[in-house]
Amino acid sequence: MIVILDLSATEEQIRQIEDMLTAQGLRADVSRGEQKIVIGVIGIPDDARAHLVEQFQTLPFVERVIPITYPYKRAARDYRPEGTIVRVGGVRIGEQVKEIAVIAGPCAVENEEQVLATARVVKAAGATLLRGGAYKPRTLPYDFQGLGLEGLKYLAAARAETGLPVVTEVMSPEDVETVCEYADVLQIGTRNMQNFPLLREVGKTRKPVLLKRGFAATVDEWLKAVEYILRGGNEQVILCERGIRGFDDAYTRNVLDLNVVPVLRRLTHLPIAIDPSHGTGRWYLVPIMAKAAIAVGADALMVEVHPEPARALSDAAQSLTPARFAEMMEELRPVAEAVGRCIRETS
């Protein structure tokens, strides 16, 4: 259940509701949005729900009371009907934001020059954030595993030069503190979507989190996973669709589920990103599916770019060259304009 107050509600009135809940053995989760104050009520027995609705509706400063039947309370759309805006430095990501965020960069950080060169070209083409993997979860232990701390330092150097905030993956709870020192957004990859100790740890931080959908996860499982982060107090979360496992891998790496954008828009208040690179696995499909993602309402795109894809240490087949990325960005602008959004102009 959530209790909605307008911004004119006083601290004394908020405490009155908290005291009422505490007296009944319940807990209040207060969230102050841009337009409303939302109090989530935690721990309500089913047989007490109707009584509580009536009780709160008698208070003159309560705008409305909404019972929530979804198992994911904080992620549910009703918890914040106006939508959440995630802030990363000067970048804002969310359905209310006109500019679509474009997160671009190499799959893996290979060396300092590679990261710096990529950061320069993607910023020049209009990207708003830089992506790059310092820690790489690989299916095969013999594949390139990333540079770790050294890679994080290269990403930080690229941010210092270009001003692009950094998005990078964290794989274990023990690494969260270190990655937070260098990154602006903590990415949780598809293999770790249900790594619950990791989700709890990033929930303790106040760094924005990009949570990718597991490649075999349902939407319900995905939203239940994000609840771990939100429950920890970190409400700055972006949901990223990166494709789910299909049966025809001869032509595409995954099935890019664009249905999920309007579905999530109904179910949750969180911003939605699409990763057409992992979703297709083929560079020539990336611009096409990026346009489709914008058309169905995505708030952000995540695209892999490498100075020389043929020499990339991971995901070469799905990486765009700088020239192809710049061309794609030009093609995205009229699509974004057609749906009332925009892509950052070239620098």
Q: Cα separation of 244 and 263, whole Å?
A: 15
The reported pTM is: 0.86
The pLDDT value recorded for residue 55 is 82
Edge-first strand order for the sheet with 64-66 is 27-32, 36-42, 2-6, 64-66
> Taking 70 as the threshold, does the pLDDT of residue 94 lie above it?
yes
Question: Which domains, ranges and CATH numbers included, belong to the chain?
Answer: 2-67 (3.30.70.1140), 86-338 (3.20.20.70)
**Would you state the structure tokens that stand for residue 57, as one six-digit string?**
């509706």
Give the model's confidence band at 90: pLDDT under 50 very low, under 70 low, under 90 confident, else very high: very high
- Report the candidate in 134, 198, 189, 205 with the shortest Cα–Cα distance to residue 166: 134
Q: How far is CA 37 from CA 85, 232, 266, 268, in A?
A: 15, 19, 21, 17
The pLDDT value recorded for residue 47 is 64
CB 141 within 8 A of CB 105: no
> Taking 90 as the threshold, does the pLDDT of residue 232 lie above it?
yes
> Taking 90 as the threshold, does the pLDDT of residue 192 lie above it?
yes
Name every residue whose Cβ is closer than 8 Å to that of residue 24 and which is 6 or more positions away in sequence: 48, 52
> Is 299 strand, coil or helix?
coil
What is the per-residue pLDDT across 42-57, written as a single tens digit (0 to 9) for each? 777 766 666 778 888 8
Long-range contacts of 147-152 (CB under 8 A, 24+ apart): 147/109, 147/110, 149/178, 151/108, 151/109, 152/178, 152/179, 152/181, 152/182, 152/183
Q: Among 12-16, 95-99, 150-154, 185-189, name the one with the lowest average pLDDT.
A: 12-16
The pLDDT value recorded for residue 249 is 84
The pLDDT value recorded for residue 246 is 92
Instruction: Look over the chain and give the mean of its residue pLDDT values, rounded to a whole number.
Output: 92
Mean pLDDT on 253-259: 96
Give the model's confidence band at 347: pLDDT under 50 very low, under 70 low, under 90 confident, else very high: low
